[in-house]
Amino acid sequence: MLTISNVTKHYGERRVLDDVSFEVGRGRLTGFVGGNGAGKTTTMRIILGVLAADSGSIDLDGSPLTREGRRRFGYMPEERGLYPKMKVHEQLVYLARLRGMRSAVAAEKADELLERLELHERRDEPIEKLSLGNQQRAQIAAALVHEPEVLVLDEPFSGLDPMAVETVLGVLSERAARGVPVLFSSHQLDVVERLCDDIIVIADGAIRAAGTREALREANSGSQWELHVDGDAAWVRSMPDISVVEFDGGYVLFEADTRSAQSVVQQAVQRGEVHRFAPRRPTLTEIFREVVQ
Amino acid sequence: MTTATQSATHSALTTRAAVGLVAGREINSKVRSKSFQISTAILVVLVAAGIIIANLLSSSGDATRIAAVGDAADSLVGLESVEVETVSTVAQAEQLVLDGDVEAAVVPLIDAEPGTPAVEIIALDATPLSLVQALSIAPEVRLLQEAPVDSGLGFLIAFGFGIVFFTAAITFGSTIAQSVVEEKQTRIVEILLTAVPARALLAGKVVGNSALALGQIVLIAVAAALALMLTGQDVLLSDLGPAAVWFIVFFAVGFVLLAAMFAASASLVSRMEDTGSVLQPVMWLVMLPYFLIIFFYDNEVVVGIMSYVPFSSPVGMPTRIFLGEALWWEPYLSLMILAVSAVVIVAIGARIYENSLLRTGGRVKLGEALRG
C-alpha cells in the first residue's frame, strides 16, 4: 500500500498542498479527482520524488520510499513527451534500462507491451512520425515497460479516442489485478466513476473526500429518495415533512429524513405494488460539485 | 543496493551504469544522424586534402630533364627529381641542350684534376645551380642553434589548433545544449528524473559529448598524420606530434569544462528558440581564443597568458609547444589549472542544471538557479 501522510508544500508564500493524506491500496484503481490547480500534479510529483515536500512522508508498505525504491515506479507526467527522433521500441528499452531492467528483458517487455497496445507495427518508427493517439499509447507504454511496482499516471486518458481508452483501461486493470497500486488523475469524472475502486477528491490543496466509490456515494447520498410505483404517485406530495424534487407518473424523487421516507414506503405498499424504493446515490460529478464547494 | 531490487528482470542501477546509459544514448543518436556523418566526413576529407594539395603546390614542376653521356650517368644516380636521358656522344648531348629538350647535360671529363668530379656540366646560358650543388662535394655543417620554426608554418599550425578547437567546441557544445533543451521542451526530463538523479543525467551528457568531440578530433589528427606521411612530410609530422598530443589532452579536459557551461546555460530555458541568447556568453568564451590566436599570434606575452587561462589554454599551450617556447613543466602546470577550473565549473554547472530542470516556462534567472 502506498501511504501519503501529512504532506504540505509551499511555492514561495503560496500553500499548494495542505496536510494531504491518503492511501492507494494494492490491487486497486484509485482515481484522483480535482480541478485545475487543485494540487494533483504537485502531489504526484512529490510521490515520485521529482519534487520535495516541505513536510510529510510517503511510505510503501510501511517503509519510507528511497530513490532506489522509486526507480521501480511507473510515471506518466501530465505534460507528455518522449524523445521525438528516437524509435518507439528503442526508447522503451532505454527508459526500462534507466530503471534498472536488464536489457534483454527490457527488449522483450517492450515488444509485449507494444503488441498489447496495438502499436507493434510502429515499433521502429520515431515518435514524431506517430499520430497523436499513438504517441499517447507510446507514452503509456513508457510508464509500464519496466513492470512498475507502483503506477502514478497524470491524466492518462486525455487525448485518447474511446477505443484507446478501453485498451489502456484493460492494461491498467491487469496491472492492478497483479497487486500494483494504481493512482491516476482525470478530469473525466464519468471515466473515474466507472473504473475506480477508490476515489480521492482534492480541492485547493486539501483532500475533501476519500474512500471507496460506494462509500463515497453513500456518504454523500444526502436525503433524496427514489420511489417507483404502479399507477400515479401524486399522493406523495400530500405526505408530511417531504418535498418532491421530481415527479413523473409512477416515479417520484423526494427529499425527506429517514423516518418520513419510511412512512412514504408504508403508504406506498398499502396503495399498491412498489417496483423500487432506494436512497438516491449521487453521481461522482454531483459529489464533486458538492465537496469542492 | 538492497536484495529487493535484485531480481531476474532488474538489477540495482549504479550511478556509473546510469551515466553510461545516458552517454550511450547521446553518442548513438548523434553518430546515427546523417548530418553528423556528413559533416565529419567533410571535415576529415578537407584536412587531408588540404595537406596533400598544399604539398603538391609547393613541390610543383616536373622533374628536371638531364642528358648524360656514358659513365657520367652514374653520378646522377640517387638525385631527387631528376630525369636522366642517356645519349652516346657529347655532340648529341649538346644538341639536346641547344634544342631545349633538357635543362643541362652531364658528360665525362677525361682530364679531371684529382679531387674534383670527373664530369662536366653543359648548359645553355646559365649555370644550373641546383645541379652543380647536387654534384658538388659538400663539407660537413654544424649548426650552433636550432633553426627557428618558419613563421608562416607556425601561424598555420596555431590557426589550425584555433579553428579545430573552435569548431569542435561549438559543434558539440551546441549538441549538448540542444539535448538539454530537448529534454526540457518535451518534458521527458520529468520521467528521466524519476529514474536517475539530475547529476547522473548531466554527467552522461558531458561524458557522451566529450567522447564524441574527442573522437572527432582524434579522427582529424589521424587523417592529418596520414596525409603528412603520404606526402613524405615525416619531418613536419615529428615536429607537430608532441604539440598535437598535448592539444588533444588539453581539449579533452577543456571540453568537459565547456560542456558543463553549455549544459547549465541551456537548462535555464525551456524552448529551442530561446537557446541562442542564453548561450551567448559561452559562445564568446569559445570564440575568444580563436580570435586572439589569429590577431596576436606573434605576441609572446599574449600567447603566454593565453596558454595559462583555462578557456584559451587548449589553443595557447600547444601553439607554444610547437614553437618550442614552452619549458617542459609549463604544459603540466597549465593542465592542472585547467583541470581544477573544470572541477569547479562542473560543480557550479551541476547545481544550476539540477535546480533549473523542472522550471519550465520562462527563462530561469541565474541567481535563482544557483540558490535552488
Q: What are the boundaries of each domain within chain B?
A: 19-55+149-371, 64-135
Average pLDDT estimate for A161-182: 89
pLDDT for the residue A108: 94
pLDDT for the residue B116: 67
A246, β-bridge pairs: A253
Taking a C-beta distance cutoff of 8 angstroms, is the pair B330, B317 a contact? yes
Q: Is the pLDDT at A143 greater than 80, yes or no? A: yes
Q: How crowded is residue B289: how many other Cβ atoms within 10 Å of its Cβ?
A: 23
pLDDT for the residue B4: 45
Task: Provide the shortest C-alpha distance from residue B370 to chain A (in Å).
Answer: 16
Average pLDDT estimate for A250-269: 87
Q: Is the pLDDT at A42 greater than 70, yes or no? A: yes
* Residue type at position B207: V
- Name the one residue in this structure whose C-alpha cell is 598555420: B156
pLDDT for the residue B2: 39
Q: How far is residue B55's CA from residue B244's CA, in Å, rounded to a whole number? A: 20
Nearest CA in chain B to A149: B5
Q: Is the pLDDT at A107 greater than 70, yes or no? A: yes
Kindly determine whether residue B196 and residue A98, on different chains, have CB atoms separated by under 8 Å: yes
| Residues with Cβ within 8 Å of residue A90, at least 6 apart in sequence | A124
Cα dihedral B123/B126/B130/B131 (nearest 10): 10
Kindly determine whether residue B195 and residue A99, on different chains, have CB atoms separated by under 8 Å: yes
Nearest CA in chain A to B19: A98
- Name the one residue in this structure whose C-alpha cell is 600547444: B318
Q: What is the mean pLDDT of chain A?
A: 88
Nearest CA in chain A to B12: A100
Give the residue among A135, A168, A145, A143 at the shortest CA–CA distance from A44: A143
Q: How far is residue A140's CA from residue A156's CA, in Å, rounded to a whole number? A: 7
Residue B154 phi, psi (nearest 5): -55, -45
CA atoms within 13 A on the CB side of B193: 24
Q: How crowded is residue B53: how many other Cβ atoms within 10 Å of its Cβ?
A: 12
Report B:169-188 residues touching A (Cβ under 8 A). 182-183, 185-188
Kindly determine whether residue A100 and residue B358, on different chains, have CB atoms separated by under 8 Å: no
CA atoms within 13 A on the CB side of A162: 1
Kindly determine whether residue A105 and residue B8, on different chains, have CB atoms separated by under 8 Å: yes
Mutation choice for A interface testing from B190, B192, B354 by most A CBs within 10 A = B190
Residue B148 phi, psi (nearest 5): -65, 150
Task: Name every chain A residue with its beta carbon within 8 A of the beta carbon of B34.
Answer: none
pLDDT for the residue A189: 82
Report B:298-317 residues touching A (Cβ under 8 A). none
| Residues with Cβ within 8 Å of residue A30, at least 6 apart in sequence | A24, A181, A182, A183, A184, A196, A197, A198, A199, A200
Per the structure block, which three cell numbers stand in for B95? 644538341
pLDDT for the residue B63: 66
pLDDT for the residue B349: 92
pLDDT for the residue B1: 37
Report B:192-221 residues touching A (Cβ under 8 A). 192-197
pLDDT for the residue B369: 84
Q: How far is residue B31's CA from residue B28's CA, in Å, rounded to a whole number? A: 5
Kindly determine whether residue B191 and residue A79, on different chains, have CB atoms separated by under 8 Å: no
Task: Provide the shortest C-alpha distance from residue B6 to chain A (in Å).
Answer: 9
Nearest CA in chain A to B21: A98
pLDDT for the residue B61: 52
Task: Name every chain A residue with its beta carbon within 8 A of the beta carbon of B360.
Answer: 79
Least confident residue range of A203-207, A276-280, B168-172, B199-203: A276-280
Task: Provide the shortest C-alpha distance from residue B228 to chain A (in Å).
Answer: 40
Mutation choice for A interface testing from B1, B2, B10, B196 by most A CBs within 10 A = B10
Indicate the pLDDT class of residue A240, thresholds 50, 70 and 90. Answer: confident
Q: How far is residue A248's CA from residue B348's CA, in Å, rounded to a whole number? A: 73
Kindly determine whether residue B13 and residue A67, on different chains, have CB atoms separated by under 8 Å: no
Taking a C-beta distance cutoff of 8 angstroms, is the pair B169, B255 a contact? yes
Kindly determine whether residue A147 and residue B8, on different chains, have CB atoms separated by under 8 Å: no
Kindly determine whether residue A147 and residue B182, on different chains, have CB atoms separated by under 8 Å: no
CATH class belonging to A2-218: alpha beta
Give the residue among B160, B217, B252, B263 at the shortest CA–CA distance from B40: B217
Per the structure block, which three cell numbers stand in for A200? 480521492
Taking a C-beta distance cutoff of 8 angstroms, is the pair A31, A195 a contact? yes
**pLDDT greater at residue A218 or residue A172:** A172
Task: Name every chain B residue with its beta carbon within 8 A of the beta carbon of A86.
Answer: 29
pLDDT for the residue B146: 65
Average pLDDT estimate for A240-265: 86
pLDDT for the residue B232: 78
Kindly determine whether residue B192 and residue A98, on different chains, have CB atoms separated by under 8 Å: yes
Kindly determine whether residue A83 and residue B186, on different chains, have CB atoms separated by under 8 Å: yes
Taking a C-beta distance cutoff of 8 angstroms, is the pair A137, A118 a contact? yes
Kindly determine whether residue B11 and residue A98, on different chains, have CB atoms separated by under 8 Å: no
* Per-residue burial over A52-77, b = 16 or more CB atoms within 10 Å of its CB, e = otherwise: ebeebebebeeeebeeebbbbbbbbb
| Residues with Cβ within 8 Å of residue A148, at least 6 apart in sequence | A72, A73, A74, A175, A180
CATH fold for domain A220-292: Alpha-Beta Plaits (3.30.70)
pLDDT for the residue B3: 39
In this complex, the residue of A85, A142, A147 whose CB is nearest that of residue B29 is A85
Collapsing DSSP to helix, strand or coil, A216 comes out as helix
In this complex, the residue of A76, A86, A109 whose CB is nearest that of residue B29 is A86
Q: Which residues of chain B have pLDDT under 70?
A: 1-6, 58-63, 78, 80-81, 112, 114-117, 146-151, 372
Task: Provide the shortest C-alpha distance from residue A265 to chain B (in Å).
Answer: 57
Angle, alpha carbons A179-A185-A191 (nearest 5°): 85
Q: How far is residue B342's CA from residue B338's CA, in Å, rounded to a whole number? A: 6
Residue A209 phi, psi (nearest 5): -160, 145
For the purposes of burial, counting CB atoms within 10 Å of the CB of B63, is it exposed (0-12), middle (13-18) or buried (19 or more)?
A: exposed
Does B58 reach chain A within 8 Å, measured CB to CB?
no
Average pLDDT estimate for A253-270: 87
Task: Name every chain B residue with its beta carbon within 8 A of the beta carbon of A101.
Answer: 9-10
CA distances from A232 to A56, A245, A260 (A): 58, 16, 20
Nearest CA in chain B to A128: B186
| Residues with Cβ within 8 Å of residue A143, at least 6 apart in sequence | A74, A75, A76, A151, A153, A156, B191
Domain ranges of chain A: 2-218, 220-292
Task: Provide the shortest C-alpha distance from residue A281 to chain B (in Å).
Answer: 39
Q: How far is residue B245's CA from residue B238's CA, in Å, rounded to a whole number? A: 11
End-to-end Cα spacing for chain A: 30
Give the residue among B27, B11, B8 at the shortest CA–CA distance from B19: B27
Taking a C-beta distance cutoff of 8 angstroms, is the pair B220, B43 a contact? yes
Kindly determine whether residue B10 and residue A79, on different chains, have CB atoms separated by under 8 Å: no
- Name the one residue in this structure whose C-alpha cell is 587561462: B309
Task: Note the CATH architecture for domain B64-135.
Answer: 3-Layer(aba) Sandwich (3.40)
Number of cross-chain residue pairs from A and B with Cβ atoms under 8 Å apart: 85
Kindly determine whether residue A75 and residue B11, on different chains, have CB atoms separated by under 8 Å: no
Contacts of residues A264-267 at CB distance under 8 Å and 24 or more positions apart, as own/partner, are A264/A225, A264/A227, A264/A236, A264/A239, A265/A227, A267/A235, A267/A239
Q: What is the pTM of this model?
A: 0.78
Mutation choice for B interface testing from A50, A102, A135 by most B CBs within 10 A = A50
Mutation choice for A interface testing from B2, B9, B371 by most A CBs within 10 A = B9
A interface with B, Cβ–Cβ < 8 A, is: 45, 48-51, 67-73, 75-77, 79-86, 94-95, 97-102, 105, 109, 142-143, 146-147
